[in-house]
Amino acid sequence: MRIAALNLLDRLAKDRLILFLILVLMNACWSPYGGLMHDARLYALQITDRLEVGHFANDLYLQFGSQDRYSIFSSVVTPIARLWGIETTFFVLYMVCNALFLWSLMQLVFALVQSRIAAVVALLYLAVTPIAFGGLCIFHVNENFFTPRIISNTLVLLACERLIHRRFGVALLCLAGALLFHPIMAFCGLLVWLGAVAIERLPIRRIAWITGLMSIAVAGILLNPTVGIPIFGKMDANWLSIVHDSNFYAFPTEWLAVDWLWIGIAFGVASATCFSDQVPKPIRRIVGLIASVAAIGILFGMLAPQLPFALLFQGQPYRALWLLQLLAVPLGFMLIEERWKRSGMANQWGVISLTALFAFKSFTLWILMMELFVAIMVCLWLTRRPWTARLLLTVALGSWIVVTAGSLVGWGVALSSTFANTHEYAYLIVWQKLPRTILGPGLVCGLSLLLLYGLWRLSDSRRLFSAVLIGLIISWIIPWYSFHGRPHSESQTMARGGEIEFVKSYLQSQIATNFSTTQRTPTLHWPLCDPKELWFELHANCYFSWVQLSGNMFNRQTAMEGERRARLVRTFDKSVYRNRKLFAAPWQQRSFRRLYGNTLDLAEPSAGDLLRLCQEDSLDYVVLRQDLGGMFDATDGKLYIYDCKKIYQLLAAGD
């Protein structure tokens, strides 16, 4: 069995086309396209606003400007979206860019890892496993939705592969493109390029002098606000506090212990690679540069919230970790193979522990520690320790099963309690997380490869097997296109029990009578509705949502107005908090409480709260599940739509 597996991996290493198709298929199966979710909603909103010439200009996310001005993404994608529509454009471009990402990753991994078998195993693992970087699992290198990050990351990977082969000019061209699409993600690649060119062209002493002088200059700027503020701009304490309340992920001090564990593992793997005499010098040099840039990113990421400089914080230096944490996987598999060949208990323990971390990758610290315990017990058993080791192994396995089962039960209860309002993402959560939680990405990867190997054996030729793989890829992505890649208001209407259709028909009647002359876009506050449904189904502005605050670090007015609106709608948004409380992580619950003023335990919303909210000039309608004093303008028995202008007129008449 072991020989057959090695032969299969060796055949895949020699046939790059087959390997690439397998990577695309496995990635499509275990990390299917998620549609307009996460940040894809915000980028789609920016493009739609361009297409409809300011239709969403008064939405909170765009009202005071967004980070769109730092990227050419919208300018490039808008003409395509004008032809195909937002959903189809994002779907097609994601499929193309994701395939290019996997191809560039394959090229870089084969350039970095000398062992062909270790390289193939790492690529198969990366195809089925989302690699988080930074903290709180907000961002992943290999995301399943379309943003400029995937374009930028692809170009940075190509640049690193070219750097290994000393093609500095081509690498710089790739980095220039990456910087145009997403400067924050690409900047670490530019620093690696500068370091590689300096090492290649300059003597070590001169590099040391330049590094020292630059460090002194940077320290002088950072320690002197009168010099630094004209360069970086100013972020005052109030602005920073609001950003902190809504964006915990941007503050490394808020990251979890398990986040720092994976960051430490990434640095440890990079250090072991740099000090390994089995790794060629050019590869050790590139890995050392990547690790150094990541360390600088962490340092400035910790300093940025403590300093009054806006651009330094907005640059989110900690994102330089993405390249290190991604490449720690193939480098880790390379070290596993190398160290396993060496004798000694320490090497075997280290190899099995690292293998367990990769094979049972969990984001829960307790499960992770339990998996390490199991790995140590397995190591004792494999080295034929006394019979007590077998007893310890049994205890460890039993404990691991109990902990994992308990986590699954809690996760299932949380999912069922929020299913009504996460219907569109629930199937993604079940499909992506459940198999990896039970089996771990290692076993998921192995089982998938076993099935594909069976198909390979049944195929008569390489050409036939390639055709089978392409057919499987197409047949798998077509259902996702039918759900995500085209306008799907009908499917969403059915999923939400007709709620979208009810509100949509009401808005259409109101627009015909109240908005036809002004051409103004109506603004709604619907606490339990995803903003993307307001934007792309109802074509209305969203008055307030946590999603809109992701860009408040780039604009002080957005931050201030967002905080004001959060305090104004907090009694209505209690339902959002209550609905997600069980499902949300502790840090999310804490962020909710800080954002809404730690008053989410207040009584249910009252007619007085509604009257105060309806005095907002920028708000037209409120959609709730409560009947507050019979002031609603329309209802279907479940939802109550309140016309703010009519309620304000009643209030004025009463005065």
pLDDT tens for each residue of 364-398 = 544 555 555 555 555 555 555 555 555 555 655 56
Is the per-residue pLDDT at 533 higher than 50? yes
Identify the weakest region by mean pLDDT among 114-118, 200-204, 519-523, 650-654: 650-654
Q: What pLDDT score does 388 carry?
A: 53
Using CA of residue 640, residue 644, residue 645, residue 650, what is the dihedral sign? positive
- End-to-end Cα, the chain, rounded Å: 85
Please, what's the largest Cα pairwise distance for the chain? 88
The residues that bridge with 132 in the sheet, in sequence order, are 140
Structure-token pair, residue 349: 């323990």
Give which of 598, 628, 601 is closest to 613, Cα–Cα. Answer: 628
Mean pLDDT of 566-594: 77
- HEC sequence for 494-507: HHCCCHHHHHHHHH
Contact status, residue 184 vs residue 73, Cβ threshold 8 Å: no
Considering only residues 545 and 458, tell me which one the structure prediction assigns the higher pLDDT.
545
Count the alpha carbons within 13 Å of 104 in the hemisphere toward its beta carbon: 23
Cα 284 to the center of its chain, rounded Å: 29
**Bridge pairing between strands 523-525 and 132-133:** unpaired
Cα dihedral across residues 360, 259, 530, 519: positive or negative: negative
| Total Cβ atoms within 10 A of residue 262 | 23
Does residue 230 or residue 418 have the better pLDDT? 230
Q: Is 615 helix (H, G, I), strand (E, B) or coil?
A: coil
Q: How far apart are CA 175 and CA 188, in angstroms?
A: 10
- How high is the pLDDT of residue 374? 56
Query: Is residue 107 classed as helix, strand or coil in its secondary structure?
Result: helix
Would you state the structure tokens that stand for residue 193, as one six-digit string? 């390029």
What is the rounded radius of gyration, in angstroms, for the C-alpha atoms of the chain?
27
Location of structure tokens 């944490």: 325
Q: Give me the residue label for tokens 């990896």.
A: 436
Confidence of residue 507 (pLDDT cuts 50, 70, 90): very high
For the chain, helix (H) and strand (E) counts, in that order, are: 30, 7
Task: Between 604 and 617, name the one with better pLDDT.
Answer: 617
Q: Is 620:643 a contact under the CB 8 Å cutoff?
A: yes
Report for 4-18, 211-225, 271-285, 286-300: range of highest mean pLDDT: 286-300
- pLDDT-above-90 percentage for the chain: 54
Nearest Cα to Cα of residue 131 among 329, 352, 284: 329
Question: pLDDT tier at 330 (50, 70, 90 boundaries)?
Answer: very high
What tokens were used for 165? 């082969």
* Beta-strand relationship, 640-643 and 634-635: antiparallel
Gap between the Cα atoms of 528 and 575, Å rounded: 7
Structure tokens, 89: 């454009």
Beta sheet of 640-643, edge-to-edge order: 541-542, 523-525, 621-624, 640-643, 634-635
| Out of 171-185, 237-251, 273-287, 446-460, least confident range | 446-460
Under a CB-based contact definition with an 8 Å cutoff, are residues 304 and 247 in contact? no
> Would you say the pTM of this structure is higher than 0.85?
yes
**Residue tagged 């190509």 (tokens):** 158
Is 50 exceeded by the pLDDT of residue 492?
no
Task: Of 336-340, 420-424, 540-544, 646-650, give the range with the top mean pLDDT.
Answer: 540-544
**Coil, strand or helix: which one is 357?**
helix
Predicted confidence (pLDDT) at residue 623 exceeds the cutoff of 90: yes
